[in-house]
Structure 1
Amino acid sequence: MEKEYLIKKWLDNNLSDSELEAFKSLEDYDALVKLSNYSKGFKAPNFNQEAILDTIISQPKATPKKENWIVKALKVAAILVLCFSAYYYTTTLDTSYSTDFAEKKWIELPDHSTVNLNALSNITYNKNNWKTTRDINLQGEAFFNVEKGSSFNVITNNGTVTVLGTAFNVKHRDNFFEVTCYQGRVKVIHKDKTTILAKGETFLVVNGIIINRSTALDKPQWLSNTSAFKSIPLKEVIAEFERQYNVKVTTKNINTDLIFTGRFTHDNIDTALKSITLPIQLTYTKTNNTIILTRE
């Protein structure tokens, strides 16, 4: 029998018994069977076009869904709430400036008043309400030169300083609170005590003890990279030295409540250390970022 004849009848599934035996004896039999098995997996499903068309036509037409007016109102209200929240957040957001170890920073406020921040200090204020409320929160030390206008308040944990237009310095550390007036007048409220300072006067609180003193200077010396002290505990001097040079100072057999008068520069660490240690007969050693003070 001819090969093509047998294959055609086999594809039509119309082989007789004798023809099937002849087909199985073909040398291409195994390959033809495998091909047939693979092709079955790709056979397209039956498609009844008329039935599907009838199904589509018989479906009801979708009508546009009317949106309830309450839903619309709620959407508008939600948008308004979001807008109001964004406005409230931006208008109540505070502006902050801070300094790191051995860093000073000059800031101009919205009314052109200025602030000089000493090392490791921070101020916070709201510039959007500045025209009506000139309040600044201070941590650390800052020198203020204030333009005339509404009341200007510097708020610290140890007290509040209020002015109308003046130049003054505020230093607020752990157990140290100092206000010096360099121009005009300032009002200092510390706990239940109110003190008015004129030019050249200082209000100082050290370890809870109030000290009043005067100064002949026109501005604080730290603005010229020098820290100056008059009858101040040594531990306050050491703390300021650490802030200006970003070092750790440890002491051995030294009373850090010892009263110190003097100054040190911010530009040379060895010169600064000699300025502190020589007047009170101390020695120092430096190891990496640590300085050890000892009694001679």
Structure 2
Amino acid sequence: MERDELLKKWLNHELSPEELQAFKQREDYTSLVRLSNSLKQFKAPEFNTNQALETALKNRNTHKQKNQWLKPLLRIAALLAICFCAYFYTTTLDKTYNTYLAEKQEILLPDNSETTLNAYSSVKYNKHSWSDNRDVFLEGEAFFKVTKGSQFDVITSAGTITVLGTQFNVKARENYFEVTCYEGSVSVTHKLKQTKLQAGDRFLILDGNYIATEKETAQIPEWLNNESAFKSMPLKNVIREFERQYQVKIITNEIDVNALFTGNFTHTDLEIALKSITQPMHLSYSKTNDTITLKRE
């Protein structure tokens, strides 16, 4: 019998007594026995299939139970995060009001102070912080009736008006900054210089220059009654206001826009308003759709 075949039968315990006796006569028999005994010590652990399956199913169910408990918690956490973000966004967001050409708007502030916006103007404030800071940011023109309380600031790009409780008008447009006090007193800060106004006082900066003005005798600004009034005002400023009130474009290439105008015009009748400006200034006009051309007579 070949050596390899004999070795195979010995390892499988298939040798007959005669073959085993012959195998023991081999020179390497003792070494083979030692090697066989050593290999038997490296026996792999027994594997229980049923137990392994049971353990796997148990772990799966435990993981599933954890997920079932965790998913609702994650949903609640996400909902709370969304609510917090929405609350933070809405409470810190400024409230803004805008008027367009030929439009006015009355606004009630959180402390029952009142403001009325003239055409093509805007105000904004933060309702959430109002109890600590009564700050209103203004672009354009607005009239204010302020209830008494903590400091009230109207902030514009040209300056800041500070009051405790009064009535006043602020006009802050391009190259034009005017504050008129109608009741109480206000403090106007312009380029770090502070001026205090009493009832009837006006503060006017025109094209970067301070302009002395007469006492105001009216109880409220004329524009609240749909009329714009001017005293020794350059015609270019009168025309800009006219365009805001009537949504028109006025061509002034042939006239002197720096000529001073004193008078008023209504906001309710275009033809009457045009005559109120052109006749005192000895001008004529022509209309094409929404464009008006002014000419010398």
Which of structures 1 and 2 has the bigger CA Rg? 2
1:5 paired residue number = none
2:89 paired residue number = 89
Q: How far has the Cα of 1:78 moved from its partner?
A: 6.1
Unaligned runs of 5+ in 2: 1-52
Q: Could you tell me how far apart the structure 2 residues matched to 1:218 and 1:191 are?
A: 29
C-alpha RMSD of the superposition: 2.4
Q: Could you tell me how far apart the structure 1 residues matched to 2:194 and 2:96 are?
A: 28
Q: Could you tell me how far apart the structure 1 residues matched to 2:267 and 2:90 are?
A: 39
SS of 2:147's equivalent in the other structure is coil
Q: Could you tell me how far apart the structure 1 residues matched to 2:83 and 2:269 are?
A: 54
Q: Percent identity?
A: 55
1:3 paired residue number = none
Q: Could you tell me how far apart the structure 1 residues matched to 2:77 and 2:192 are?
A: 48
The one-letter code matched in structure 1 to 2:290 is: N
Superimposed CA distance per residue, residues 211-252 of structure 1 (whole angstroms, 9 cap, x where no aligned partner): 232211111000111100011111110000001101110113
2:289 paired residue number = 288
User: 1:286 touches 1:292 (CA, 8 Å); kept in 2?
Assistant: yes
The one-letter code matched in structure 2 to 1:122 is: S
2:124 paired residue number = 124
1:209 paired residue number = 209
Q: Could you tell me how far apart the structure 2 residues matched to 1:131 and 1:182 are?
A: 25
Matched, 1:64 2:62: yes
2:162 paired residue number = 162
Q: Could you tell me how far apart the structure 1 residues matched to 2:79 and 2:220 are?
A: 52
Q: Could you tell me how far apart the structure 1 residues matched to 2:284 and 2:105 are?
A: 33
User: 1:283 touches 1:293 (CA, 8 Å); kept in 2?
Assistant: yes
Q: Could you tell me how far apart the structure 1 residues matched to 2:267 and 2:241 are?
A: 10
User: 1:201 touches 1:212 (CA, 8 Å); kept in 2?
Assistant: no
Matched, 1:226 2:227: yes
SS of 1:128's equivalent in the other structure is coil
Aligned length: 238
Q: How far has the Cα of 1:203 moved from its partner?
A: 0.2
The one-letter code matched in structure 2 to 1:96 is: T
Q: How far has the Cα of 1:127 moved from its partner?
A: 1.2
- 1:1-296 pair list within 5 angstroms: 60-61=56-57, 62-65=60-63, 67=66, 81-213=81-213, 214-296=215-297
Unaligned runs of 5+ in 1: 1-57
The one-letter code matched in structure 1 to 2:173 is: R
Q: Could you tell me how far apart the structure 2 residues matched to 1:190 and 1:171 are?
A: 13
Q: How far has the Cα of 1:82 moved from its partner?
A: 4.0
Q: Could you tell me how far apart the structure 1 residues matched to 2:83 and 2:281 are?
A: 64
Superimposed CA distance per residue, residues 51-87 of structure 1 (whole angstroms, 9 cap, x where no aligned partner): xxxxxxx79523321759xx89x95876665443332
The one-letter code matched in structure 1 to 2:200 is: G
Q: Could you tell me how far apart the structure 2 residues matched to 1:150 and 1:127 are?
A: 15
Superimposed CA distance per residue, residues 19-61 of structure 1 (whole angstroms, 9 cap, x where no aligned partner): xxxxxxxxxxxxxxxxxxxxxxxxxxxxxxxxxxxxxxx7952
User: 1:252 touches 1:295 (CA, 8 Å); kept in 2?
Assistant: no
TM-score computed with the length of structure 1 as normaliser: 0.75
1:50 paired residue number = none
The one-letter code matched in structure 2 to 1:93 is: L
